[in-house]
Structure 1
């Protein structure tokens, strides 16, 4: 069964293509609303908190991928210290 693309989804996609901002609505459980309120800095909007959280999540994913790469390289036995300098 295929997925339907609603008018809102097309608008978000079109906005993303143009580099303009889009609006996304979410429903928060009471615990999530409490977190949003708790994490907000003075003068920060809910949107600001969510943007900050998204950037932090992206950073954490990048760090996790870097750690996994380092572990893979370590497990392979590769040691760049034993390699001659390329310059």
Structure 2
């Protein structure tokens, strides 16, 4: 939900900025800021472990166990979402 709310706020803000610009510069802003290449992306999140606090509080999403609460949405969009607490690489 937070991701959808942030995207909605961004689009609303961009719309008001664009409406104040001329149409030629507005289209370049849309292309530059709102364009993303298609296809599957691999998204990696590095978080701390929430341990027992994450188990007892499902709203605590900023941890490995919660993964920001965006896994289902990212995977429904065709992306791969990897969540880890390993900040240094293999066997650190």
Whether TM exceeds 0.5 here: the answer is no
Q: Which has the higher contact order (CA 8 A, sep 6+)?
A: 2
Q: Which has the higher strand share?
A: 2
Q: Which has the higher helix share?
A: 1
TM-score, normalised to structure 1's length?
0.24
TM-score, normalised to structure 2's length?
0.23
